[in-house]
Amino acid sequence: MSDEIFIGDRSYSSWSLRGWLMYHAFGIDHRFKMVGLYSGTMQDDLAPLGIARTVPAVRTDAGIVLTDTMSIAETLAERHPGAGLWPADPAARATARNLVAEMHSGFTALRGDCPMNIRTSWVGFAPSDAVQRDLARIEQLWAYARENFGGHGPWLFGAYSLADAFYAPVAARFAGYGLPVSEAAAEYVAAHLAHPSFRRWRALALTETIEPAQYQLGLATRDWPGPVPLSARAVDGTDSENTACPYSGDPVTHVMELDGRRFGFCNAHCRAKTINDPEAFPEFMTIYHS
């Protein structure tokens, strides 16, 4: 048995992204269950977890229920000490916890004015003074961590850590709203957009169709500023290089074309997520490079 993480909509649920990254980005075994964040079934979907009322929530393989990203983070760090969730150096680890705690409880203007929308990058959004103060504080925190503990890599504390997982939805907001940031902060945002787990989450998000009105700004849009996906498209038929779906191993029923080659999947969803960003799925890329 593995832990089961209950998540909401991938396009808009920043907390769900944060919780899922704690598992996927660190290679911790898990299953996930979608709850009806916008369909009205959320509380019924969470009922088996007892006290859980928000997403993400976790039921561990031992039956322990975790109802908040902070409790998920600390419990995973206790249970998986070799996964590198927190920095090993005590000073770096304490600073990382400071950054995570401030993200967890602060930046209310940014949260309120710029709800995460991982599907879209807007043009012409004008941040309020309050949002700009949040941006300045976030940049101060990022710069302090990277200057004192970051080494030569893109992440806040050298290796990717829980601090980066907690700030991934902030990076998505910076990208989605075109928020003004320094060159150093822009590089950090770009690292998030290129992270394999982030790309996988977004590719899955783009298979979802719900678009709540509160997330639509009526502004012009631009291409998503992350890595440009390989250009793939759905095609008819079942003829493909592979006879089994790279994800399930089941027989091919749906096919896509990439670079003039045809690859098969066991259902429309497997095909759709792969079309959205083939490089986000190592299982498919193994076939592609074979």
Q: How far apart are CA 175 and CA 118, in angstroms?
A: 9
* 1 pLDDT tier (thresholds 50, 70, 90): confident
pLDDT value for 106:
95
Q: Which of 59, 61, 67 is nearest to 15 (CA)?
A: 67
Instruction: Give the homologous superfamily in CATH for domain 3-83.
Output: Glutaredoxin (3.40.30.10)
pLDDT value for 288:
98
Strands 57-59 and 121-123: unpaired
Instruction: Just give the CATH number of 90-201.
Output: 1.20.1050.10
Q: Spell out the domain ranges in the chain.
A: 3-83, 90-201, 232-288
User: Residue 44 is inside which H or E element, if any?
Assistant: helix 42-46
Q: How far apart are CA 71 and CA 75, in angstroms?
A: 6
Q: How far apart are CA 155 and CA 106, in angstroms?
A: 21
pLDDT value for 102:
98
pLDDT tens column, 149-184: 998 899 999 999 999 999 999 999 999 999 999 999
